[in-house]
Structure 1
Amino acid sequence: MTMLNALKNDTNLTFTENGALTHKTTTSNLMDMFAMGAAMRQRDESDIILMWRKAFQENPVYALKCLFYIRDVRGGQGERRFFRTILTDAAKQADSREAIRRNMKHIPEFGRWDDLYAFIDTPLQEDALSIMKHQLALDVECKTPSLLAKWLKSENASSKESTRLGNITRSYLGMTHKEYRKVLAALRTRINVLEKLMSENRWDEIEFDKIPSKAGLIYKNAFARHDLERMKNENVQSYADFAKDENTKVNAGTLYPYEVVEKAINLMEPQPQSYTWARREKPALDNTDRLMINKYWDNLTDYFNGATFNALAMVDTSGSMLGTPMNVAVSFGLYCAEKANGPFANHYISFSSRPQLIECEGVDFCDKVDRIVATNLCQNTNIEAAFNMLLTTARRYKMSQADLPQNIIVISDMEFDRATGNYSYWNERPNEEQMHMADTLMEGIAKQWRAEGYEVPHLIFWNVNARQSNIPMLDGSKVSYVSGFSPSIFQSIMTGKSGYDLMMEVLNKERYACIQ
C-alpha cells in the first residue's frame, strides 16, 4: 500500500446527517457510481459529473456500461437527468468524447430519442443530429417507423427551449417549416401517438392494453372522463368495463412500483373536507380508478419470476424520507414481500423511531397500501433498533443462524441515527484520533451479533436518495450496494453474489455487451 492510499483509507470516514459514523466511499469510484448514481435526483450537476469523471478515469469501459445501466428504461434504472447531464459533459471532454461518440447509436435503445438533444451545443451536436436524420429517412419509407417522430421537438412547442431545439433539428434536416411539420404529423399518425388521438378526440381508437406504461397512469382520469364519447362506438369496450374485466392486461413494463403506490396513496388517503375534520369516504372496491391502479400493480414485471428468495426488507420510514423516497422504499418493501417466495413472504420490517413488523394484508393492492401508509412513523432513523429486534427475537427463541433471513435489504437514504447501544461512541462527535478507535454504526451492530453467536446476514444497502455520499461498509462481510427506483436489480441480487461481484453481474449482462 502506498502512503497516499494509506492516507485515503484512514480518512475514509464521515458522519450521516443524524450523527452515525460511516464511510465516505466504497474505495472504488466505479462501485460508488453503481451504489449511488441512480439515486442522485436531488444532487447538483457538479456532484453527478465528478462521480462520472472519477469512475471513467478508473475504468472507462465499465463506467460506460454503468452509465447505460443507470439510464436503461427496460433492464436498468431508467434515470434520465443523471444520464443526460453526463452526456453533455462527456461530449465536451477530450478524454471521454470519442467513447461517447462510439456508443451514441445505442442511446435510443437504452433511453429515448430525445436523449440525443443532450449533445446540442457540444462538439457532438452534428453526430447526434446525423443519427436522427438517418433514422427519419428510414421511418419515412418503412411500414413500422420508430418512435423518433414522437420525441423530435416541434417548432410550435410552448417551451422556448423545445422550440429552439425544433428549429435546430429542422434546419439540419434541410426542411422548410411546413415540410418538417407535415413529416412529424404523418409519422406520429402512423405510430398512433396517444396524445395525438386524445387531442383530436379520437377516444374510441385508443387501445388501453397497448398504451405506453407511464401514459396509461398519467391519463387514466382523462380516459374515464371521456368514456361516454368512446361509447358512441358500440364496437369498443368502455374504460370502466376494461377496468372490471379480470382478463384484460395493461402495459406496465417500464413503470416503477412507486409510481403505482403514489396513485394508490392519492386515491385512498383520507383528506380533510373544506374546513372540517370530516374524512372522505374511500372509493368502493369496484371504483374504476381503484381497479385500474390494482391492474397496473398486478401487471408490473415480476423480476423474481416465482423463485424462492430468503430475504427480508428493512424499509426506512423516517421523516427525511418523506415524499418520493419513502414511496419508493414502501413500494420495494411491498414488492419484495409479495413476490419473493420464502420464509418471510408478505412481511417486511419498517424502521423509524422504532421498528415494526409489517404484514402486507388487504383486500386488494390499494387497500394494502392504505394500511401500510397508516403505519409509517415519519420520525427518526433508528436502524440499530431494527437489527436489535431481529437479534433479540433470535436469542429469546434460541434460533439457529439458518432460521434468520439469509438476505436483509435495507431500503433507505442511508442517513442513519448514531449508535445508542453499549458499543456506541462518544456523546459528542469524536475527533480524528477517536474516530479511528471507534466502530462505525454497522461495525458495532455486527460485533453485537457476533457476541451473541450470530453473523449478520448478507446486507444489501439500497439507496433511494443519495443526498450526500456515505457508504455503510463492513469489512470481511457480504455487503452489497445498489441504488435507484427500479426493481430490476432483484434479478442479480438473487444470484447470491455480493459486493463488487454483484455489480459486475449486472454490468456484464449480455444487454450491455454492445457498450464498449
Structure 2
Amino acid sequence: MSAFIATMDLVDSRTVTSNGDACLKKTSSGLLDLFFKLVRGLDAEELASLFSAAVTEATKPEAKADLILLAFQTRATRGHGKGEKELTYQLLKLCAKEFGEESVAAVLGLLPHYGYWKDLVHLLASDDCPRALADKSEELICQQLLADEAESSAATADKRIPSLSLVAKYAPREGTKFDKGPLRLAQRLAQRLFGSANPAASARKYRKLCSCLNSQLCTTEVLMAAGRWEEIRFDRVASLCLQRHRKAFLNEELKGVLKPAQDATGNRHPDDPARVAARLHLREAIVSKKGVQGKALMPHEIVQHCMGGSLSTLEADLMNAQWASLRAGTLEAMRKAAELRDLQVLEAAAPAAAGLGSLAALERALPKHVDLGKLVALVDVSASMSGTPMEAAIALGILVSELAAPTFRDRVLTFESEPNWVDLSSHTSIRDKVRACEQAPWGGSTNFEAACERILGAAEAAKLPPDEVPNLIVFSDMQFDEARGHGGRWETAFERLQRRFAEVGQRVCGAPYAAPRIIFWNLRANTVGFPVAKDTPNVQLLSGYSPALLKLVVSGADLVGDEEEVTETAVMPDGSIQTTTKVVRSGPTPEQTLRTALDDAVFDAVRLQLAALEAGPFKDYAFAPKEGAFEMVAKQAPAPPAEDDFEVVDAN
C-alpha cells in the first residue's frame, strides 16, 4: 500500500473531539455506536441517525432483535440496565416504525417488569405514539386494573390481604396533565373499561375503581394524604419517594437552618404529633440494621444534594444511609455477575480438566470476594461537564473508589486543565467525600493527556512491576484536549496511552508495560467521536448514569488475558514512518461487553416473545434459553409489577 493511500485511509477514519484531540468517527459497529451514545439528553435527531445506522447493519432477525433488546436494557432498573425512561420511549417508537408496530406491541407488556407501570402512561402521552402501541398500552393498563379488582374481591372473600400491582397508583386521573388537551387519557381508559354510551357514568366508575384500589395499596402517598404519617414504615419506602419527600418526612422547612432545640421535633410542624413521630421513625430507620432504601437511585441523585448547599444533620445522615444502600445494591449486582463469570470459567475448563480434582483446584483458585480490583477512577471535571454530567462523574468516581480492591480504595484522580489526586480515606460520609472532590480545581479544559502522564509518572517513580499498574475507568464526555507533549496529530488518546505505557515500562522494567484495562464511560449526550473501535482488546465502552453497568466490568470469562508484544509501523499524515512497540493484553472488547449486556438472561423473556411472532421481520427469529439459564438468574429476575422505582407495596 502506498504512503498516500495509507494516509488517506487513516485520516478518513478519524475526526477530532470538540477540543481538538484525534478520535474515531465510528466504532465499526452501529449498535455499539448507539449504545455508547445513549445518554440522557441525547438529541432526537441524533438518536434517529444512530438508530438508522444500526438498522442498516441489522440484516438478520437476531440483529433486529438486539435493537429491541437495547430498548429494554436502556430502561431496565434494579441492577440490570441504564434506568432511562425518555430514551427508552424514543427507541421503542423507532423500533415500531422500522420493524412494525405489532412487533413492538407484542413485547410491550414486559415494560412494567423492567421499569414501572407509569412507563405505559408516559408512552401514551409521548409525541407521535404509534396507534398500535397506544392501543396496547391502554389494553395492558385496563387489563391490570380489572385483574387487581378481581384480586381485591377475592381477597375480601377469603379474608386475606390482596396482592396488587401499582397500576392504580399510576393510572391517569381526571384533570391531571395526562387528561388535558387532546390526550384525555383518563377519559379514554374509562370508556375502554366501562363503555362510551354514558361517558359521565364511565368516568365515575373509573374514578371509584382507581380510588378503591389505591386505598388498598396503602402507599406512602396515601398515608401522607390521609395525615397518617406515624404509620409510614421507612424501611419500606422506596428510594426515590424517600429522596423526593425527605424534607416532609423529616418535618423540616424547605429552607432555613434547624435550631438545636428543634432537633427532636423538626421545625415544619413541631406541634403535630404524627409529623414528629414520622421524624423519629425515620431517624430510627436510618440507624437500624434494615436501614432505608437507596438501591433504585442514581448516584448523582444523592451527590447533587451534597454539593454546594447546606444539609441538616439528619438529612446528611439520610443521604449517607441511602448511599450505603446504593453501594450494597451495586455490590450485589457485581457479585451475581461474578458468579456467572466463574461458572463460565468452570464450564469452559471442564472438557480439558484431567478430573474432578483439577476442577476443584480451579474452583478454589477463583476469587471468593468481589470488588473492582486495581481500578482507579479518572473523573472529568472540565467546563464541558458542568451540570448533571459532572455530578454523575463525581458520584460514580466515588462509588468506584469504594468498590475497588482494598489497596486501591478511596482515591480518585480528577482532571481538567491539570490532574488532581484526591484522597478520600479520611472521610466516612458521602457528603464529606463529595466536598473533598469539590475542593479540587474544576471548570478548565479536558487535559486527559496530563491525567495519564500523572499515572505514568507515579508508576515510573515507584518502579512498579507490570502486575501492580492500575486499570483505569474514565468518567467523561471524551472531548479530550489535543495532545501537546507526545504523539502525532492523528494518534488517538488510547493509542497514545498504549505507546506511553510501553515506553515507561521499557525504562522501568526493561520491557514494555501492557496498557491497562481501560473503561471509557460516556456521561454526556451529543458529543463527537469514539475512543476506540469495536474490536479493541482489554477496553470497554459504557455510558449513562446507572451504577448497574459496573457489573459489566466484572463480567466475562476472559478478565485477564495473555500479553503479546506487537510492533506496528504506520505512515503518518506528514509522510513519515512511525514504528511503535507495545504490549497488547487480551481481554473483553467493546463489542463483547455490549453482547454481555444484551445477552443477560434477565432479558430472555423479551427474546422469547419476539421468537413467538409468526409474521413480520421476526417470523424467522428463533431463541431458546440455555439450559438452566432461568435457574441461574432466578435471583436476578426483574421484580414483578407490584414493585417499582418509587414505591414498595406493603399492605400490612
Q: TM-score range by the shorter chain?
A: 0.7 to 0.9
- In structure 1, what is the equivalent of residue 499 of structure 2? 447
Does the CA-based 8 Å contact 1:154-1:163 persist in structure 2?
A: no
For 1:103 and 1:380, how far apart are their aligned partners in 2?
Answer: 45
Q: Deviations over 1:50-106 (max 9, x none)?
A: 323433442111122121111102211110010111223333x25342331221111
Deviation for aligned residue 1:224: 1.8
Alignment pair present for 1:502 and 2:590: no
Q: Structure 1 pair 102/126, CA: closer, same or farther in 2 (3 Å)?
A: same
- In structure 2, what is the equivalent of residue 84 of structure 1? 89
**How many equivalent pairs are there?**
479
Deviation for aligned residue 1:267: 4.4
For 2:175 and 2:9, how far apart are their aligned partners in 1?
Answer: 54
Say which of 290, 307, 312 aligns to 2:370.
307
Task: Compute the TM-score of the two structures, normalised by the length of structure 1.
Answer: 0.86
Does the CA-based 8 Å contact 1:243-1:291 persist in structure 2?
A: no
Where in structure 1 are there 5+ consecutive unaligned residues? 1-5, 269-281, 426-437
Where in structure 2 are there 5+ consecutive unaligned residues? 1-6, 152-161, 196-201, 252-267, 336-368, 505-511, 560-587, 608-652
For 1:144 and 1:14, how far apart are their aligned partners in 2?
Answer: 56
Deviation for aligned residue 1:505: 1.4
Describe the SS at the equivalent of 1:409.
Answer: strand
Describe the SS at the equivalent of 1:315.
Answer: strand
Q: Deviations over 1:415-461 (max 9, x none)?
A: 11111113142xxxxxxxxxxxx322332232222223222211110
Q: Structure 1 pair 162/81, CA: closer, same or farther in 2 (3 Å)?
A: farther
Deviation for aligned residue 1:239: 4.2
Alignment pair present for 1:296 and 2:322: yes
Q: Structure 1 pair 221/237, CA: closer, same or farther in 2 (3 Å)?
A: closer
Say which of 222, 231, 243 aligns to 1:217.
243
Alignment pair present for 1:52 and 2:116: no
Map 1:91-170 to 2 at 5 A.
Answer: 91=96, 93=97, 95-117=99-121, 118-119=123-124, 121-124=129-132, 125-142=134-151, 143-158=162-177, 160=180, 164-170=184-190
Map 1:8-407 to 2 at 5 A.
Answer: 11-37=12-38, 39=39, 41-57=40-56, 58=58, 59-74=63-78, 75-91=80-96, 93=97, 95-117=99-121, 118-119=123-124, 121-124=129-132, 125-142=134-151, 143-158=162-177, 160=180, 164-174=184-194, 176-225=202-251, 228=270, 231-232=273-274, 238-239=280-281, 241-242=283-284, 245-268=287-310, 283=312, 287-300=313-326, 301-303=329-331, 304-305=334-335, 307-308=370-371, 309-360=373-424, 361-405=426-470, 407=471
Deviation for aligned residue 1:365: 2.1
For 2:115 and 2:317, how far apart are their aligned partners in 1?
Answer: 30
Which one is further off, 287-296 or 169-178?
169-178
Deviation for aligned residue 1:383: 0.6
Q: How large is the RMSD of aligned CA atoms in angstroms?
A: 2.5
Q: Which amino acid aligns with 1:351?
A: F
Deviation for aligned residue 1:381: 0.5
Q: Which amino acid aligns with 1:297?
A: W
Q: Structure 1 pair 313/233, CA: closer, same or farther in 2 (3 Å)?
A: closer
Larger radius of gyration: 2
Describe the SS at the equivalent of 1:217.
Answer: helix
Q: Structure 1 pair 448/227, CA: closer, same or farther in 2 (3 Å)?
A: same
Does the CA-based 8 Å contact 2:286-2:317 persist in structure 1?
A: yes
Describe the SS at the equivalent of 2:605.
Answer: coil
Deviation for aligned residue 1:295: 0.9
For 2:222 and 2:8, how far apart are their aligned partners in 1?
Answer: 60
For 1:228 and 1:239, how far apart are their aligned partners in 2?
Answer: 15
For 2:600 and 2:536, how far apart are their aligned partners in 1?
Answer: 26
Deviation for aligned residue 1:482: 0.6
Describe the SS at the equivalent of 2:42.
Answer: coil
- In structure 2, what is the equivalent of residue 435 of structure 1? none
Deviation for aligned residue 1:47: 1.6
Deviation for aligned residue 1:372: 1.6
Q: Deviations over 1:217-239 (max 9, x none)?
A: 11000112267476349987724
Q: Structure 1 pair 230/243, CA: closer, same or farther in 2 (3 Å)?
A: farther
Does the CA-based 8 Å contact 1:20-1:419 persist in structure 2?
A: yes
For 1:20 and 1:223, how far apart are their aligned partners in 2?
Answer: 49
Deviation for aligned residue 1:7: 9.7
Describe the SS at the equivalent of 1:302.
Answer: helix
Deviation for aligned residue 1:8: 9.1
Does the CA-based 8 Å contact 1:461-1:482 persist in structure 2?
A: yes
Q: Structure 1 pair 259/27, CA: closer, same or farther in 2 (3 Å)?
A: same
Q: Structure 1 pair 398/134, CA: closer, same or farther in 2 (3 Å)?
A: same
Alignment pair present for 1:473 and 2:532: yes
